[in-house]
Amino acid sequence: MNQARVRTYDKEFKLNAVRLFLTGDRTYAQVSSELGIPLGTLVTWARSYKSQQVPGSSPNNLQQKP
C-alpha cells in the first residue's frame, strides 16, 4: 500500500511564499502553482502570518514571533 509523502517546509520558504502573494499581483493559485505547494497550504500560511502581523509592519519585513 502506498503512503502519501508528507512534505515539510522551513520557515524561510513559508515566509517567502507568503511574501510573493502579499507584495505582488499574484493570486493564491498562481503562487501555489509556481512553488508547487497545495493552495490550501499557502492560504493557511498567509492567514497565520496576517494574524501575527504587527500593525503597520510591511510584508517585506516578514518576521515570525519567537
pLDDT at 6: 82
Q: Who has greater pLDDT, 58 or 7?
A: 7
Separation CA 61–CA 53 (nearest Å): 10
27 phi/psi in degrees, rounded to 5: -85, 170
pTM: 0.72
User: Residue range 9-17: average pLDDT?
Assistant: 93
pLDDT at 45: 94
* Average pLDDT value over all residues in the chain: 83
pLDDT at 60: 56
pLDDT at 66: 41
